[in-house]
Homo-oligomer: A and B are copies of this chain.
């Protein structure tokens, strides 16, 4: 797969089938993950793959609870606004995200694989997110859908206990990626054009190019 196809079509694919992901596919995904950069090339990261139904059964209820808190707090204003003006593009996007994220919450235990990312003594996560995103891009090339979710971070202590993470070594869980074969179709994600969110030399100054339509395909 061409790099640009992967970059443009790797979007959150939360609705997946229960079919397991073969071990050689997992190995290729993880081998691509560790090619990511890390500060000082220290590779102070660990990854934990979860496919055991018993472990998923412990995480599912925590995930659902965290999502319901999120809808009622962080996303409350945006959801209220979306319900008030459902015809706006922004509202449609918000409601689409909610529906898809809630699907993952409702079907947490059915998703075949989760990948947790940890960093030691690095709360910024700058050394782990590129690795998780590499895994998501490599998964895309294998036809595997992924999504990055942060909500389990709100229950860090409980999650570390369930996963058996030693608490005296300074490991932080920074994100969790769901993986599975998608039920939907791949497509280019809709985004605000780059020229609308980019400046040149000074905040607010025109970036010098325009791209009203995606530059791929």
Contact = CB atoms under 8 A, between A and B. Distances in A.
Interface of A: 1-8, 10-12, 23-24, 26-28, 30-37, 39-43, 45-52, 55, 75, 78, 93-94, 97, 101, 124-126, 129-130, 133-134, 137-138, 140-141, 147-148, 150, 163-166, 174-175, 188-189, 191-195, 197-204, 207-211, 214-216
A60 to B, nearest CB: 15
A194 to B, nearest CB: 4
* Copies of this chain present: 2
Contacts of A197: 34, 43, 45-47
Contacts of A148: 37, 126, 130
Contact of A34 (B3, B133, B194): B194
A175 B11 contact: no
Contact of A198 (B48, B75, B137): B48
